[in-house]
Structure 1
Amino acid sequence: MTPVLETKHVFTITARIGEVVSAGDTGHGVRRIIPITGGEVRGERVNGTVCPFGADFQIIRPSELIELEAKYAFETDDGAIVYVENKGIRFGPIDLLQKLKRGEPVDPGLIYFRTVPKFETGYEKYRWLMEHLFVASAARHADRVVIDVFQVL
């Protein structure tokens, strides 16, 4: 019998973001780069601070489907550095996505924003982050992205 997939919430990453930079339409879509300027990580087993570097590299397809690839790091409260690569998609009604682009508030429940974070660290206490798969549900706000990270059990 195949095991049933279950998930467990392990922590929330709140990543503060800077002003959007655009490289324009590259032929594959509009390339946007959004700096990650800091933030926090809060959970039962992991707590820390998002490092003030890294970015989310996005391609906005003509259908307004947004492909995301964020690369950044966080430092745990006990000094471990964890590198993060987080790939995913964001999609929803075009009028709501346009509001998000303008920095206007949108109910996160109306936007599909899911990611697959991958973690790397050399700190033994947090090696479990490299030994499991994770999925996340995220919400974009004007100045931050809130990412609820779930471990696939």
Structure 2
Amino acid sequence: MTPALETKYVFTITACVGEVTSAGDTGIGERRIVPIVGGEVKGEVNGKFCAIGADFQIIRPNGLMEIEARYAFETDDGAVVYVDNRGVRFGPIELLQRLSRGEPVDPKLIYCHTVPKFETGHEKYRWLMQHIFIASPARHGDRVVIDVHQVL
């Protein structure tokens, strides 16, 4: 028997987002670009967002959202960490429509999970590249709060 899957909470990412830009229906769904305009990381790693990043989304006709967020943050001690965070969001269509309009929705009612991958040349944070992480994002108006857990 294989060991049970275990995780531990490591930090929370709060990404402040700007206005959505839509490229329209591309044949596989609506392509949306959501700029990430700021934010912070708090927990075992602490830092502030660099002035770059966006979430490149595809919203399928059934409401399933494919998430592909790419951004970077600088830790309090000066390391730059690049993040490629991919996953899916899905739920009842009326709740997804409310989220799209910026209205509040209880995050427990929406399935949303991502797998962030980290890159850095800073030795202190190499452990971020040597583990698998799973995250639970929740959209709150002008920000996304992402609890990141390390798979042990």
Shorter-chain TM-score tier: over 0.9
Task: Calculate percent identity across the aligned residue pairs.
Answer: 76
What residue is the counterpart of 2:116 in the other structure? Answer: 117
2:92 partner letter: P
Q: 2:98 is aligned with what amino acid?
A: K
Q: Once the 2 structures are TM-superposed, how far is the Cα of residue 25 of structure 1 from its aligned partner?
A: 0.1
What secondary structure is seen at the aligned counterpart in 2 of 1:52?
strand
TM-score normalised per structure 2: 0.98
TM-score after normalising by structure 1:
0.97
How far did 1:5 drift? 1.4
Alignment of 1:72-87 (within 5 A): 72-87=71-86
Residue number in structure 1 paired with 2:29:
29
Q: Which residue of 2 aligns with 1:5?
A: 5
Q: 57-66 vs 1-10, which deviates more? A: 1-10
Equivalenced residue count is: 152
CA distance in 2, matches of 1:6, 1:88: 19
1:86-114 deviations in whole A, cap 9, x for unaligned? 00000011001000111111111111110
**Runs of 5+ unmatched residues, structure 2:** none
User: 1:23-72 CA distances to partner (integer Å, 9 max, x unpaired)?
Assistant: 000001000000000101000x2000012211000000000000000000
Unaligned runs of 5+ in 1: none
Cα distance in 1, alignment partners of residues 28 and 133 from structure 2:
28
Q: CA deviation at 1:2?
A: 2.3
Q: CA RMSD in A?
A: 0.7
Which portions of structure 1, spanning 4 or more consecutive aligned residues, are displaced by more than 3 angstroms? none
